Amino acid sequence: MEETEEIEVLGSEPIYKGKIFDLSIYDIRHGELEYKREIIEHNGSVVIVPVFDDGTVGMVRQYRYAAGKFLLEIPAGTIEKDENIELAARRELEEELGVTASSFTKLTEFYVSPGFLTEKMYVYLATGLIETAQNLDEDEILSIERYSFPKLFEMIRNGEIEDAKTMCGIMLAGARLEVRF
């Protein structure tokens, strides 16, 4: 199949409309081939690597029902419809960690699983942190932990950190701050 062939959406059928995502089945034509795709539609999310003045990274440990256990992660959350991406990152940082940041640097953006999911994650480095107060969503139950970059790199290598966005964010922030792996 040629990349230059036109891809046409022939139609779609909404299957589920939820709080966080929607699910639709799309009928697609790519050249002479017609097929269906089940697509989860998501507004996208922000991921923040908050680095305190002492060089430690603010992390959250929360129960993830899909994984069936508590996972250690960097703060993250869903972008609301039509919300500015950096403002969403600032909101999530304060909600989950109870801090604001004087500096936000975008590290990257990536699709989580583009075979079936429209979600794109935007990863930020947050520095110049100022403590305020946590403002968790009613269904967020988490604890805050802080670790040095060397400890986080070790935790990634030995499988203690299992979350892909956290691995990506920690590695990119460490490289940006020129922390030795």
Look at residue 168 and give its three-state secondary structure: helix
d(CA 65, CA 60): 15
Q: How many residues does the chain have?
A: 181
Q: Which of 2, 3, 6, 138 is catalytic?
A: 138
Q: Is 131 tagged catalytic?
A: no
70, HSE (Cβ side, Cα atoms, 13 Å): 11
Q: CA torsion sign, 128 to 133 to 137 to 142?
A: positive
**Residues known to be catalytic:** 138
